[in-house]
Chains A and B, each alone.
Chain A
Amino acid sequence: MSSYKLKTSISPHIRSKQSVSKIMWTVNLSLMPVFLFSIYNFGIQALFVTLTCVISCVLIEALCLRLRGKPIDTVFDGSAVLTGILLAFNLPPDVPLWIPAVGSIVAIGVAKQAFGGLGYNIFNPALAARCFLLSAWPVEMTTWQVHGITGATPLGIFKEKGMSYLLTQFSSQSDMYSKLFSGNIGGCIGETSVILLILGSLLLFYKKIIRWHTPVAYISFVFILGWLFGGQKGFLSGDPLFYIFSGGLFLGALYMATDMVTTPLTNKGKFIFGLGCGLLTFLIRKFGSYPEGVSYSILLMNTATPIIDRYIKNRKFGNPKGKK
């Protein structure tokens, strides 16, 4: 009987069914409503930009893995596709197509693979690429169109000309809110439709892929700061709803600031990360030279992640309260 070939290993001998690629593909899936809407809202150009991003991200991922001598099967783990989609979602719909291609090289080649690949990158690859593109080609990166008409984003108009002028662009204040919420406005490909972003993220909350801590801290802090100090007529004159629904806040808070690799491990840490992003976003929008600050805020907070993880720990079981 001892002739059986028995395998030995150290416990545990069973594993959950979760896997990295399941997580990544679920996130990709949750972004589909926004993707479809972007084609409706911006036209076929949005599709081309997104496809360019996804295809070039996957190709560059394969190339990098090859060059690094790593197994190439992780190309389809969904993470390169996700970076592609998120990069596209952070680009204006009518950029020339070489821009997304260059962006993908930066995202995958520099921000991800040069740091050691999935799990080792410090910066969110899509955001790193977007910020690179924004400083290298500011004109191409800030030319907006809605239904073929060139114009600025609501945040841009607000920053340049103020709220009262912005309101003249809409039939009423509630019309503005509803357009902001539904996404029927100008902006980056994937950032405009707040409702669909929330809808998609529900799947991720349900699957416990993302936690509420970062998005709630982030969005509510921007809400509060925008309300208190965001107005142009002094304290408490801000329009908090406009503050949170405009720009890329929901895309950033739900999909970029919740990126596992580049954000803190603990839930407490995630909350602090969200607050930090909220503060920085507000400061950049209010005092910076760009109308929007979501990308830079998240990237800046990415650098704070190791410090947060170092000092913010879960409470150990059996540790008296208050002691480290």
Chain B
Amino acid sequence: MKSKNIINLQTFTGGIHPHLDKSLTGRKKFKPIKLPSKVRLPLSQHIGAPSKPVVKVGDIVKEGQVIAEASGFVSVPLHASISGKITAIKKFPVCSGKHSMCIEITNTETKTEINSTENTNDWKKFTPDQLKTMVEEAGIVGLGGAAFPTHVKLSPPNNKKIDIVIGNGVECEPYLDADRNTMVSSPDKVIGGIQIVMKILGCGKGAVGIESDTPDAINAMSQKTENISSINIVPLKLKYPQGAEKQLIYAVTKKEVPCGGLPMDVGVVVINVGTAVAIYDAVVYSKPLYERNMTIAGNCLNESVNINVRVGALLNDIIDEIGGFKTLPSKIILGGPMMGQTVYLLDIPVTKGTSGILCLNEKEISIFKMGACIRCGKCLDICPMGISPAQIAQAIEFNNTDIAQQLGVFDCMECGCCTYVCPSNREIVQLIKLAKQQIKNKG
């Protein structure tokens, strides 16, 4: 049953079809680029406690060497992404707009020999616990954007039985195209990574959800799973935000993660396909996570590309390396246009969680004037979480956070669909984010 009928594709309820597509990167292959001569690795590029440096300024480090260790369970070690000398350990500007502790490595030699892949391990001979330790030591976090430490995800409490591991091959944000590339260029690694996760969790079933607009990825992955009956490739109807965990789980299994719950509550663990590759590399090639695939796109660039970037490389250097700007950018976004974060300068590093860099020009960003809600009901129709964005936003506008909470403001996953569709340009999800912050600050 590997060849799927494309007629009745599964999906989730609600959601939108953003008007932008992926044509900018033209579904291109990865473009090879030079290694950066300088990287800055923030100590906190994951959810959880920041890593603790184990090197000092002046030390010479090799690519892949541990330069900071995990501090606590929900934390990960950090590895040098290039060989060179530690030139600074201090606060630098990072993507959040703040300054944060970073380790700066400057490459002294002109060429670095790449940690070759000569000794490969057969992952099947390791025990689940050994495998999990390898994932932990490789500093792997979710590469879909959230950057949650993967080993934590792979350690569900004993009473939660995991029945299925779902590979997230849905790249639902407009522009972003790197996950598709990953699946096309190394499908065996993706499958291998998922099999490793299945072994760690002692679960016999796997699936990979992929949207139907990437037939090349579906084909590549289907071919590789031809003889692996435990892993199913599930083509999904194109829709945003299908890559959100709860929506993907519903699309693939028809199970709903309960409000406020986690995927493991319905026996599921979701692993981004990029993360699966990182897991495979960590186990089979003993290679820690210090590089990642991403899309760099936008009309003000000379060329939009999919590339493999060293963690800690500065936006400046990456953009220069791929050909620079054609016209002045007006807005630079890390991540996708629906959920990404804008940055105000280019002197900041990409992190393990950066899925893309978008450089938008004046025309691509428009300034919107927020109007009154005309109660068109569109946002209610499309909200994938089934809450009432219109009423929540109104409550927040009137400073009524209690009502906003009753209406389920914390069920909102901040996908931004409501703001996208609103004909009155209401900044619904922006208000929601603000209110969440206010409520949390209150205690």
Please tell me if the beta carbons of A315 and B338 are within 8 angstroms of each other in the complex.
no
CA–CA, A10 and B331, complex, Å: 11
For residue B274, CB closer than 8 A to chain A, the reply is: no
Please tell me if the beta carbons of B372 and A6 are within 8 angstroms of each other in the complex.
no
Q: How far is the CB of A76 from chain B (nearest CB, A)?
A: 14
Q: How far is the CB of B320 from chain A (nearest CB, A)?
A: 8
Per-residue CB contact flags for chain B residues 71-98 toward chain A (1 = under 8 Å, else 0) read: 0000000000000000000000000010
For residue A313, CB closer than 8 A to chain B, the reply is: yes
Per-residue CB contact flags for chain A residues 1-30 toward chain B (1 = under 8 Å, else 0) read: 110111111111111111110110000000
Please tell me if the beta carbons of A6 and B332 are within 8 angstroms of each other in the complex.
yes
Known A6-B342, A319-B259: A12·B420 in contact at CB below 8 Å: yes
Please tell me if the beta carbons of B420 and A9 are within 8 angstroms of each other in the complex.
no
- List, in ascending order, chain A residues with CB within 8 A of B259's CB: 316-319
- What is the chain A residue whose CB lies nearest that of B336? A11
Please tell me if the beta carbons of B390 and A265 are within 8 angstroms of each other in the complex.
yes
Q: How far is the CB of A25 from chain B (nearest CB, A)?
A: 12
Please tell me if the beta carbons of A317 and B416 are within 8 angstroms of each other in the complex.
no
- Of B97, B257, B258, most buried by chain A (CB within 10 Å of CB) is B258
Please tell me if the beta carbons of B368 and A15 are within 8 angstroms of each other in the complex.
yes
For residue B1, CB closer than 8 A to chain A, the reply is: no
Q: How many A-B residue pairs have CB under 8 A?
A: 169
CA–CA, A2 and B317, complex, Å: 12
Known A119-B372, A260-B376, A314-B388: A15·B419 in contact at CB below 8 Å: yes
Please tell me if the beta carbons of A316 and B424 are within 8 angstroms of each other in the complex.
no
- What is the chain A residue whose CB lies nearest that of B97? A8
Known A13-B333, A15-B366, A17-B19: A318·B376 in contact at CB below 8 Å: no
For residue B4, CB closer than 8 A to chain A, the reply is: no
Please tell me if the beta carbons of A1 and B374 are within 8 angstroms of each other in the complex.
no
CA–CA, A207 and B360, complex, Å: 29
Please tell me if the beta carbons of B258 and A119 are within 8 angstroms of each other in the complex.
no
- Of A116, A260, A270, most buried by chain B (CB within 10 Å of CB) is A260
For residue B391, CB closer than 8 A to chain A, the reply is: yes
For residue B330, CB closer than 8 A to chain A, the reply is: yes
- What is the chain A residue whose CB lies nearest that of B240? A12
For residue B377, CB closer than 8 A to chain A, the reply is: yes
For residue B204, CB closer than 8 A to chain A, the reply is: no
Assign chain B's interface to a size class: 35 or more
Q: Which residue in A10, A11, A18, A117 is a CB contact (below 8 Å) of B421?
A: A18
User: In A23-81, which residues have CB < 8 Å from any B CB?
Assistant: 23, 74
Please tell me if the beta carbons of A1 and B347 are within 8 angstroms of each other in the complex.
yes
Q: Which residue in A1, A265, A309 is a CB contact (below 8 Å) of B346?
A: A1
Q: How far is the CB of B98 from chain A (nearest CB, A)?
A: 13
For residue B329, CB closer than 8 A to chain A, the reply is: yes
Number of A residues, CB within 8 Å of B: 47
Known A265-B390, A317-B384: A6·B374 in contact at CB below 8 Å: no
- What is the chain A residue whose CB lies nearest that of B93? A2
Known A7-B331, A10-B430, A309-B391: A316·B385 in contact at CB below 8 Å: yes
Please tell me if the beta carbons of B338 and A267 are within 8 angstroms of each other in the complex.
no
Q: How far is the CB of B390 from chain A (nearest CB, A)?
A: 6
- List, in ascending order, chain B residues with CB within 8 A of A1's CB: 316, 346-347
Q: Which residue in A8, A17, A23 is a CB contact (below 8 Å) of B376?
A: A23
CA–CA, A5 and B342, complex, Å: 12
Q: How far is the CB of B100 from chain A (nearest CB, A)?
A: 17
Please tell me if the beta carbons of A19 and B386 are within 8 angstroms of each other in the complex.
no
- List, in ascending order, chain A residues with CB within 8 A of B344's CB: 6, 8
Please tell me if the beta carbons of B421 and A6 are within 8 angstroms of each other in the complex.
no
Complex A-B, nearest 10 residue pairs according to Cβ-Cβ distance, in ascending order? A119-B372, A12-B416, A8-B342, A2-B345, A18-B423, A316-B386, A318-B259, A12-B338, A317-B386, A10-B430
Task: List 21 contacting pairs A-B, 8 Å CB cutoff, sorted by A.
Answer: A2-B346, A6-B331, A7-B342, A7-B365, A8-B97, A10-B430, A12-B338, A13-B333, A13-B340, A16-B16, A19-B424, A119-B375, A211-B377, A260-B375, A267-B377, A314-B386, A314-B387, A316-B411, A317-B256, A317-B411, A319-B259
Residues of A near any B CB (own CB < 8 A):
1-2, 4-20, 22-23, 74, 116-120, 209, 211, 260-267, 270, 309, 313-320
Contacts beyond the supplied A8-B331, A317-B386: 20 A-B pairs with Cβ under 8 Å? A2-B346, A5-B328, A5-B330, A6-B329, A7-B330, A7-B342, A9-B331, A11-B338, A11-B339, A11-B416, A13-B342, A13-B360, A15-B368, A16-B421, A17-B19, A19-B424, A118-B372, A265-B377, A267-B377, A317-B384
